[in-house]
Amino acid sequence: MKKLLVSVLFICGFSVLATAQPRDEGRNAPIRPGSITTEVPTGDTRPYSRTVTGKVIKVDGDDGFMVVEDPKSGPLKVILSKDTRLKADKKTELGDKKEIAFTDYKAGQTVKLTLRVYDNKLLEVRLKPAKD
């Protein structure tokens, strides 16, 4: 009987001590002066892709690259991959074609390139109508 009484008192004593702990410790503790603080990121705000619209300078179908005159930064060399989408607006010479090949693009045409930001991968080449 003594062992049971001692066990009950022992358990009750620890439960009282556990509930008597201050509430402003751990995650709820106030920031102490001079402590290091870190912020949890709220989300990724970097863009996934960017676009460049410019005139085609050169198309090399054998090596699969295109050089486009970027009005902001100068010539831009992009490499075609098997995943690159080739498109044309309706009011262009390739607008009525169902299957567009990379070699269908010619020097002097205006194209809009879509590039993935983190590795500059060419996602899409779109032929745009020439501005008069």
Structurally, the chain folds into a number of domains equal to: 1
Report how far residue 59's alpha carbon sits from residue 61's, in angstroms, rounded to the nearest whole number: 6
Task: Assess contact for 65 and 79: CB atoms under 8 A.
Answer: yes
- Which pLDDT tens digit goes with each residue over 29-71? 666 666 565 565 666 677 888 899 999 999 998 888 999 998 8
The predicted pLDDT at position 111 comes to 93
Report how far residue 114's alpha carbon sits from residue 95's, in angstroms, rounded to the nearest whole number: 18
Nearest to 77 by CA among 86, 64, 68: 68
| Domain extent for 100 | 49-128
The predicted pLDDT at position 88 comes to 92
Please check whether residue 37 lies inside any domain of the structure.
no
Strands (DSSP E) along 80-129, which ranges?
85-88, 110-116, 122-128
Please check whether residue 54 lies inside any domain of the structure.
yes
Please list the residues that pair with 114 across neighbouring strands: 51, 124
Q: What is the mean pLDDT of the chain?
A: 81
The predicted pLDDT at position 6 comes to 73
CATH of the domain at 53: 2.40.50.320
Query: Which 8-state DSSP code applies to residue 19?
Result: H
Please check whether residue 110 lies inside any domain of the structure.
yes
Please check whether residue 12 lies inside any domain of the structure.
no
Task: Assess contact for 76 and 52: CB atoms under 8 A.
Answer: yes
- Which pLDDT tens digit goes with each residue over 14-31? 666 566 555 666 656 666
Give the pairing type, strands 74-79 and 65-70.
antiparallel
